[in-house]
Amino acid sequence: MIGDDRRGLTVRLAVLQGGVVAVLITLAIGFWFLQVAQYNQFRQLADNNHQRSLALRAPRGVLFDRDGEVLVQNRYAFDISLVREQTGDLSSSIALLARITGTDESALWRVVDEHLDEPAYRPVVVIREATVAQVAAVAARRIELPEIVIEEVPTRYYRTGTMAAHLFGYVGEITPDQLSDSEFRGVRSGAIVGQTGVERAYNRMLMGADGARRVVVNSVGRELDTLEEIDPIEGRRLQLTLDYDLQAAAEEAFEVSGFNGAAVILEPNTGEVLAMASMPAYDPNDFALGIDQATWRRLSGDAEKPLHNRALQGRYSPGSIFKIVVAVAALEEGIVDPDFSVQCHGAKTFYGRPYHCHLRGGHGRVAMEAALERSCNVYFYTLGSMLDIDVLSSWARRLGLGGRTGIDLPHELEGIVPSTRWKLAATGEPWYPGETISVSIGQGALSVTPLSQAVMMATVANGGVRPIPHVLRAIDDGDGWELMQTPPGGVVDLQPETIETLHRGLWRVVNARGTGGRARINGFDVAGKTGTTQVISLSGRAQAEGTTELDLRDHGWFAFFAPSEGTPEIAGAVLAEYSEHGYLAAPIARHVMQTYLAKKEGRPLPRFPRPTPPPVLTETAPVAPAPDAGVAPTPTPGEGD
């Protein structure tokens, strides 16, 4: 019995000893893991108890126009941030901050809630671009609000206000979705990034590299000393292809004319974007440090859609400008030659249905140049009846319509150029030959952007090289400006006879009896084409409800290039919404070209003429005719585009 007790005691002691050894080994491993394996991590946490690393935001790169004019730069403002780790009562801190700064408390909570997943020691910017009064109020309460940090930060400043807003784009705080997007890989939460336009397309170059400042703080978070400061690196400076004066001229002309719409002006040989206007516009300064809810609701709810970039995202029927494509297809496919003529009586029947010309009495017998000049629908109906829709679609795409142009800006929409395959996929129905008749004058299932119209016109102007439009001209690499290479365009193999016919016909549109006379400039041979496109069908007009008379007006186009002979210098397209006639868009283009010529010749820049009220006629004071300004008489309604 005694032996058994001793053996049992020995076993128990052995177990106890083993347990003690196991505990000691576990503690030793734990100490090693905490003090050796994870030394750096816990050392960092310990340092964070008395050190802080504050980010120093880098100024974004400055944007210049092609002549060196500063367009977008930076200014400094104050951010007010909250360090949650330093607050004992978050609710009281936010309530006090809201009260002394006059800020909506719920707005502060929304910002804090968006950053709850981030480390508590990281400052959260709760008030961007604080006023002097707000900064003073917080500074006066430093003892009560040790968790509040005031930082001076660079912010974007668009010195031209609304001008070229859609081209520049705007900046804003990176969104949660963008943080997980590869486009923004490596960008930290809270960073200000480009959201649209050039700011988005070249965000990486423009952002630069943030600096940092390491400081020693006491137990209540007050800074005691600066340990290290790494200066931020400013973003790259970019020179755009934009011409400030041409951009201002386009927007001035829209404003004075009273039209919304878009204008895209190109250097036709390189594709450089000289101007890109979309009206109405917005002020990107509203977005620079976070747009307030009231301003966002006003902009996003505006029926005129000022945030919508009509130049890249507006899709409209091209109207009679598409007749250029029809002419190219018919000539290049060998279906007709330039002397092919058609008798226009004001209407013609195709597939059992009459199709009308805009001139009721008809144009008489016209060949291709005259048909372009007078914009004879019957002539192009006839060509349309001779062309297969797939052939027409192919030529439209080669000239730049349909698809995307490849511009170095985000969010470009594709145009729609119908084909048999497209219709089958879109509707499940075959293409009917009668539909080609409508497409031949730019109507039907056909839509283009103003940018693509400008590219098509540039292609015709330079003899068959489809340029890729672009807005970046040069980059400052620190040692000076490095010019960017012109992106190679697509070659459209056009016969010299086709080019000559188009150039002569489009010259006649502006300088003879055509509808583009309001774009005529003495001494500068402008070639162009007007176009009018229905906003709503004739049958739809009778049934439309809840629309105003303005809503039912047609849109007007004018596409152009100049000079018509020799090397073209300027090309583009102007869309004036609800202008009823394309010839009313021509003066906008004319003003841009006059500004271009004035700059080239060193003359004062012109102002767009403001409309004058009609003169009061009296029996004793007859009104003398106005002096010739080089502008053709206004066509009467129903006599053209």
pLDDT at 629: 38
With beta carbons less than 8 A apart as the criterion, state whether 592 and 518 touch.
Answer: no
Distance CA 114, CA 414 (A): 35
Question: Chain-wide mean pLDDT for the chain?
Answer: 86
List the single range of 2-16, 249-263, 558-572 with lowest mean pLDDT: 2-16
Q: At residue 442, does pLDDT exceed 50?
A: yes
Angle at Cα 438 formed by Cα 434 and Cα 443, nearest 5°?
150
Q: Which of 52-61, 171-180, 225-234 has maximum average pLDDT?
A: 171-180
Q: Are 504 and 510 in contact (CB under 8 A)?
A: no
Q: Which residues of 575-601 are buried (b: 16+ CB within 10 A; e: fewer)?
A: bbbbbbbbbbbbbbbbbbbbbbbeeee
Question: What is the predicted pLDDT for the residue at 542?
Answer: 43
Using the predicted structure, report yes or no on whether residue 12 has a pLDDT greater than 80. no
pLDDT 10s digits, 276-333: 999 999 999 999 867 878 889 999 999 999 999 999 999 999 999 999 999 999 999 9
**Lowest mean pLDDT across 42-56, 202-216, 226-240, 345-359:** 42-56
pLDDT at position 519 is: 96
Q: Check residues 97 and 215 and name the one with the higher pLDDT.
A: 97
Q: Which two tokens stand for residue 237?
A: 């400076």
Which tens digit of pLDDT belongs to each residue from 365-403? 999 999 999 999 999 999 999 999 999 999 999 999 988
- pLDDT digits 0-9 by tens, 529-565: 999 987 654 444 444 454 444 456 789 999 999 999 9
Averaged pLDDT for residues 194-218: 87
Nearest to 452, CA basis, from 501, 416, 506: 416
Indicate whether 638 pLDDT > 80. Answer: no
pLDDT at 37: 66
- Does residue 6 have a pLDDT over 80? no
State the pLDDT at residue 329: 98
pLDDT of the residue at 521: 96
- Domains of the chain from N-terminus onward: 51-240 (3.90.1310.10), 244-475+483-601 (3.40.710.10)
pLDDT score of 44: 60
Separation CA 71–CA 287 (nearest Å)? 16
pLDDT tens for each residue of 116-129:
877 777 788 888 87
Above 80 in pLDDT, residue 229?
A: no
Would you place residue 138 in the very low, low, confident or very high pLDDT band (cuts 50, 70, 90)?
confident
Please determine, for residue 20, whether its predicted confidence score (pLDDT) is greater than 60.
Answer: yes
496 contact partners, CB below 8 Å, separation of at least 6: none
**Whether residue 618 has pLDDT greater than 50:** no
| pLDDT at site 217 | 65
Q: What is the band of 627 on the pLDDT scale with cuts at 50, 70, 90?
A: very low
Overall average pLDDT of the 255-273 stretch: 97
Which pLDDT band, with edges at 50, 70 and 90, does 17 fall under? confident
Is residue 631 predicted with pLDDT exceeding 50? Answer: no
Strands (E), 419-550: 465-466, 472-476, 481-483, 490-491, 527-533
* Highest averaged pLDDT of the listed ranges 6-20, 200-214, 554-568: 554-568
In the block, tokens 């001076």 appear at: 152
Within 10 A of 535 (CB to CB), how many other CB atoms are there? 19
**pLDDT category of residue 42 using cuts at 50, 70 and 90:** low
What is residue 51's predicted lDDT score, i.e. its pLDDT? 66
- pLDDT given at position 493: 93
The rounded percent of the chain whose pLDDT value lies above 70 is 86
Q: Which of 210-219, 221-230, 262-271, 481-490 has the highest mean pLDDT?
A: 262-271
Angstrom distances, CA of residue 208 to CA of 18, 192, 275, 482, 564:
61, 11, 27, 18, 44
Q: Which of the two residues, 43 and 551, has the higher pLDDT score?
A: 43
Looking at the predicted structure, is the pLDDT value of residue 349 above 70?
yes
The predicted pLDDT at position 48 comes to 55
Q: Tokens 């951010």, residue?
A: 79
pLDDT band of residue 106 (cuts 50, 70, 90) is: confident
**pLDDT value of residue 415:** 93
Q: How confident is the model at residue 246 (pLDDT cuts 50, 70, 90)?
A: very high
> Looking at residue 208, what is its pLDDT?
87
pLDDT at 522: 93
Residue of 532, 464, 466, 524 lying closest to 499 (CA atoms): 464
pLDDT over 60 (residue 47): no
Residue 218 confidence (pLDDT): 62
Which pLDDT band holds residue 356 (cuts at 50, 70, 90)? Answer: very high
| Paired tokens of 469 | 């439009």
pTM more than 0.85: no
Please, which pLDDT band fits residue 340 given cuts at 50, 70 and 90?
A: very high
pLDDT of the residue at 145: 84
DSSP result, 22-62: HHHHHHHHHHHIIIIITHHHHHHHHHHTTEEEEEEPPPPPP
The region of weakest confidence among 202-206, 230-234, 247-251, 270-274 is 230-234
